[in-house]
Structure 1
Amino acid sequence: MKVKIESSKIIKPFYEDNIIPPSTKTYIPLSVFDKVTYEAQIAIIYAYRPPTPPNAAIQLGLQKALAIYREWAGRLGKDENGIPVISLNDEGVRFVEASADSTLDKVMPFKPSASLLNLHPRLNNVVELVQVQVTRFTCGSLVVGFTAHHTVADGHSTSNFLVAWGQACRGLDINPLPLHDRTIFNPRNPPLIEYEHKGTEFMSKSVKKENSLDESTHHVTEDIVVHKVHFTVEFLAKLKVKASSMNNNNNSNSNRPYSTFESLVAHLWRAITKARGLSGFETTHIRISVNGRMRLNPRVPNEYFGNLVLWAFPTSKVKDLLREPLPYATKLIHDAVVKVNNNYFRSFIDFANHKDEDLIPTADMNKHILCPNLEVDSWLRFPFYDLDFGMGCPYMFMPSYFPTEGMMFLLPSFIGDGSIDAFIPLFQDNLPTFKKICYSLDLA
């Protein structure tokens, strides 16, 4: 598949005639949640069957959505006191038009490979906070590559924006409107830091330096393969039953079944750990995003635009993870996620507002090897399939190519039957074992 760039330009928010354009001199300070997240562009790819709307209609809809979500058309910077902000200067986003030399069917379903990087603008050294590439295939199909800077918004907020873009393309009013106020996370007086946040959300600069040295002596990233696994509804149902099989025991606090997400992540944690061939005495953890909108009290509206995520870190010795049955790992995950509650979020806000200058976020997209640990990015609940430009929902969507060993993406399969696709980056040497056991309900 050869992709040819036809044009590349900056587009700015479009304000309707009855709206006075707002000042371009204002800015929004970053919240403590924006400052602790990934400082990187994240890319996703959509595919649409014909008929598809013209590029001009997609562009105008984007410009109208940017008039409501002005942060995306701004720039990251600092105010006069050196505090990180989003400048609402309307400098705009990048809009690229491209063409491919084949039909979409020839390259579908997209395999996770470096060729996907041709379907969206580059991710590094970019000042624009959003970039869009529309690529036309010879059959009339359309692929839309979308990149967004994680410092501005988390997956929940970004998916709300994407739905709004589709609404604007269809001539609808954007609904619901975003809540833009990032100053709502105030520390308590006096602060009450109940949990350990150093080593969790933050680490010292010296620890990061040591980690970088460790990685440089490890495998080279060319050895990493992103493997896509499809889990059917039937398999997921069996997995959930097995994962929850000990919940009726008297020792258990609950006899409710674990969620599909908890069961699948526990299974993958065990399968990947076994495939890696780690020593039984090593410790392994998974980084799992937890949305604070549902956790904080009073609850933060779903329309809040920005980052509002912290992480759970279920942890185990390798020997315990592989020796104990699946419910052991699932309970570790469930309990770790439950712990990231209102008290935890409040403790984090207090800590982050009084932290030592030497501390930096542990969230790092520049780390290419997570072994012996894992990270899971779940897009299972985001309405990504609702991005309708006026000719129907996408045929499929997926993450771009992120060859970071151990960083998994989970998303609903484009089949639409409740099955799940998992994108698993592994070292080439570990892949045969993983393939052999990834559908096994019993890894012992």
Structure 2
Amino acid sequence: MPSSTPSLVSKCTVFPDRNSTIGDLKLSVSDLAMLSCHYIQKGCLFNLPPGSLPFHSFIPLLKSSLARTLSLFPPLAGRLKTDSDGYVFIDCNDAGVDFVHVTATGFFIHDLLAPPDVPESFKEFFAFDRKVSYCGHVSPILAVQVTELADGVFIGCSVNHAVTDGTSFWNFFNTFAQVFRGVDNISKVPDFRRESVLISEAVLRLPEGGPKVNFNANGPLRERIFSFSRGAIQKLKARTNNRRRTGNHNGDVINALELTGKQRNDPFQEEDRIVRSRVKSAVAETGEISSFQSLCALLWRAVTRARKMSASKMTTFRMAVNCRQRLEPKLDQYYFGNAIQSIPTYASAGDVVSRDLRWCAEQLNKNVKAHDDATVRRFVEEWERNPRCFPLGNPDGASITMGSSPRFPMYDNDFGWGRPVAIRSGGANKFDGKISAFPGREGSGSVDLEVVLAPETMAGLESDSEFLRYASSFLL
């Protein structure tokens, strides 16, 4: 790797180009639970095509585009505040966001993507490293860092996790790219209404000075990106559903429909709601286990084997689910804020490694299918009886937490330089067993998993024959 280190060129505050007309927004149950989490850190790596403008010419254009985008997302330019009763709000006061310009021309894109492990350098491509979301009372809710590389650019966004979840985060990022390209008609307008069961009268009592992360953020870890092609995913799903890929007509139809539904992350395909409806109907009728649940089951088995735990040890696989369309009445699909809940699935290490792949996938599938409106409301009621921040981490050494989603439109962020080469994250919210799912760059239902594990567990995963039958390293 190059020996040079990133160097700060400039830092400033960017304000919305229009005054906010939105009042205070009360944090929801899902928002409040994230006050002890780090800011979300996700970014896009781009090639700069030959003949592009000099890099310094992009900076004022990015700032002005950000200012226009903030006018569409006023909460991001605000600050958190707590009233005398203990309720926490977003004050949409146009206080502005941080914009940071960094140069790191000692780094080439290939240098960053070639090593098997994700380089520590990516942590330097984000502002607000390991900043806790409660700090949004005094710090900006958003920071954008633009890092100039030898042959490309990295745009990294750090956003307060008590203000956004992944759906809201990527809607902002996509809109920022569209505004920069000069798109006038922004179709994915965020919905700031606070009218659902997620808005509670319960008060979260916090310690003086605010909450802290409840995991060791400095433990020894390794991080790798494993890629799963369309073909590998189809083979895995066919195996999970105990059939040959060509031996079940209904299964083949569902595979095709599910794949088409996922292609809304592929810039060469348009979103088709009718297709997704047919997918859900077909899956319900046949009891099919989805591609993603199949992939999660594969990971659960491989990581559990690598941890070499006793058969009686209870393991946990947590999956974050979007509650927007699970609630009745449904929330707007672009509801701005956190609308997520964590579904835990429990099984002994002995069962996970000795039973077949389908059994593991079925445990996940049952919990996801059961998470309906009544379950969402029950989770809210349980939180109201005991308001608390989300206990992120892996205290017993037997947990896996799956975050993000391969359905997020990460590769739709085209600033005029073409699609991103890769998606990467910073050092936020990382611990042994933290997994993040990204769409594969090739689209068509491919998936990348960002896997963070203890070094000895990663070594076991790297030699797991079942896992390696389907996974490959990220390739440029």
Q: TM-score range by the shorter chain?
A: 0.7 to 0.9
TM-score (structure 2 length as normaliser): 0.78
Q: Which residue of 1 aligns with 2:179?
A: 168
Aligned to 1:362, which of 383, 390, 401? 390
Amino acid at match of 1:299: K
Task: Tell me if the contact between 2:30 and 2:198 (Cα under 8 Å) persists in the aligned partners.
Answer: no
Give the whole-Å Cα distance in 2 for the aligned partners of 1:107 and 1:288.
32
Range 403-412 or range 226-235, more displaced: 226-235
Give the deviation of 1:418 after TM superposition: 3.5
Match of 1:182 in 2: 194
Q: Does residue 123 of structure 1 match 2:113? A: no
> In structure 2, what is the equivalent of residue 423 of structure 1?
450
1:268 equivalenced with 2:313 (yes/no): no
2:177 maps to 1:147: no
TM-score after normalising by structure 1? 0.83
- 1:374 is aligned, of 400, 416, 424, to 400
> What do residues 303-325 of structure 1 show as CA deviations (whole Å, max 9, x unaligned)?
21111111211110111111110
User: Who is 1:197 aligned against?
Assistant: none
Which AA in structure 2 matches 1:176?
K
* 1:280 aligned partner: 311
Runs ≥4 in structure 1, deviation > 6 angstroms? 186-189
Whether the 8 Å contact between 1:13 and 1:64 is mirrored in structure 2 is yes
Q: CA deviation at 1:295?
A: 0.7
Q: Which residue of 2 aligns with 1:95?
A: 99
Deviation at 1:361, TM superposition (A): 2.7
CA distance in 1: counterparts of 2:221 and 2:142, whole angstroms: 28
Question: What SS does the aligned partner of 2:226 have?
Answer: strand
Match of 1:199 in 2: none
Cα deviation digits, residues 134-158 of structure 1 (max 9, x gap): 111233x211111111100110111
Deviation by residue 1:357-379 (Cα, 9 ceiling, x = unmatched): xx413343xx4656201100132
User: Bigger shift: 386-395 or 256-265?
Assistant: 386-395
Residue 345 of structure 1: aligned partner: 376
Look up the match of 1:18. none
Three-state SS of the structure 2 residue aligned to 1:313 is strand
CA distance in 1, matches of 2:348, 2:169: 36
For the pair 1:409 / 2:436, whether they are aligned, the reply is yes
Distance between the aligned counterparts of 2:324 and 2:198, measured in 1? 15
Cα distance in 1, alignment partners of residues 403 and 236 from structure 2: 20
Name the SS for the 2:463 alignment partner.
helix
Matching residue of 2:81 = 77
Count of residues in correspondence between the two structures: 406
Encode CA deviations 1:83-132: one digit per residue, 9 max, x unaligned.
11111111111100111123533424164232111111132446111111
The structural deviation recorded for 1:349 is 3.3
- Kept in 1: contact 2:26–2:199 (CA 8 A): no
Distance in 2 (CA, whole Å) between partners of 1:238 and 1:390 is 36
* Alignment correspondent of 1:46: 44
Written as runs of structure 1 = structure 2, the 5 A alignment for 1:233-382 is: 233-245=230-242, 255-352=286-383, 354-356=384-386, 359-364=387-392, 367=393, 371-382=397-408
Whether 1:37 and 2:64 are equivalent positions in the alignment is: no
SS at match of 1:328: helix
State the one-letter code of the partner of 1:374.
I
- Is 1:27 aligned to residue 58 of structure 2? no
Give the partner amino acid of 1:116. Answer: F
Structure 1 residues 150-159 or 406-415, which shifts more? 406-415
Aligned to 2:144: 132
Specify the code of the residue in structure 2 equivalent to 1:86. Answer: I
The AA in structure 2 aligned to 1:148 is V
CA distance in 1 between partners of 2:380 and 2:369 (Å): 18
Task: State whether residues 75 and 90 of structure 2, in contact with CA within 8 Å, keep that contact through their aligned partners in structure 1.
Answer: yes
Question: Using the alignment, how far apart are the partners of 1:369 and 1:232 within structure 2?
Answer: 33
Distance 1:188 1:30 in 2: 9
Query: 2:261 aligns to what?
Result: none
SS of structure 2 residue aligned to 1:284: strand
Are the counterparts in 1 of residues 69 and 176 from structure 2 also a CA contact under 8 Å? yes
- Structure 1 portions without partners, runs of 5+: 16-20, 190-201
Q: Secondary structure at the match of 1:394?
A: coil
Query: Shift in Å at residue 440 of structure 1?
Result: 4.3
Q: Give a deviation string over 1:211-238, Cα, whole Å, max 9, x none.
A: 96xx78xxx9543211222223222222
Q: 1-side partners of 2:314 and 2:418: how far apart?
A: 47
* CA RMSD across the alignment: 3.1
Q: Of the candidates 221, 225, 230, which is equivalent to residue 228 of structure 1?
A: 225
Name the % identity: 24
How far off its partner does 1:273 sit?
Answer: 0.4
The residue number in structure 2 matching 1:67 is 71
| Deviation (angstroms), 1:417 | 5.1
Mapped contact 2:29–2:198 kept (Cα < 8 A): no
Structure ranking higher in helix proportion? 2
Cα distance in 1 for residues equivalent to 2:442 and 2:284: 36
- Kept in 1, the 8 Å contact 2:100–2:145? The answer is yes
1:213-271 Cα shifts (integer Å, max 9, x gaps) = xx78xxx95432112222232222221111111899xxx99634311100000000010
* Cα distance between partner residues in 2 of 1:100 and 1:187: 43
Structure-1 residue corresponding to 2:109: 105
1:387 pairs with 413, 421, 431, which one?
Answer: 413
Gaps of 5+ in 2: 249-282, 471-476
Rounded Cα–Cα distance in structure 2 between residues aligned with 1:226 and 1:188: 37
